[in-house]
Structure 1
């Protein structure tokens, strides 16, 4: 879905982003889902996930399941 078509979305990014323009931004959707976009392309595509998918991902990240990706 084009990110620009998600009307009223309030995009946020991590405070850990260094402002270099290469950030992942997220927006909560009215249906409880979450949209994800690349800050370098704010009008580009957005991936949309259900609340349950986001919870599962965050739980895995907190448990260290993806640490090998940044090692």
Structure 2
């Protein structure tokens, strides 16, 4: 596997299992996530599956999810 860094093509991540929320948009406009061997999390746009991937640590993802659960981003959905 190539070095994993932000902006790499999704095709560079061999063997990862991409998944999306069951609440995602049925038209395919959603975010997909994949766990990485080093414990990180890859994020991509489902409309561009081969496009760039953003990489986050588990701690970064945990902070984002907690913030979302606590309503910190609710103003962005209005």
With normalisation by structure 1, the TM-score equals 0.96
Equivalent residue number for residue 25 of structure 1: 32
- Using the alignment, how far apart are the partners of 1:48 and 1:5 within structure 2? 13
How well do the aligned residues superpose, as a CA RMSD in angstroms?
Answer: 0.7
Match of 2:51 among 23, 44, 48: 44
4+ residue runs over 3 A deviation? none
Map 1:1-71 to 2 at 5 A.
1-71=8-78
How far apart are residue 41 of structure 1 and its match?
Answer: 0.7
* Superposed displacement of residue 18, structure 1: 2.7
CA drift of 1:2 comes to 0.8
Gaps of 5+ in 2: 1-7
SS in 1 for 2:52: coil
Alignment size in residue pairs: 71
Task: Report the TM-score when normalising by structure 2.
Answer: 0.87
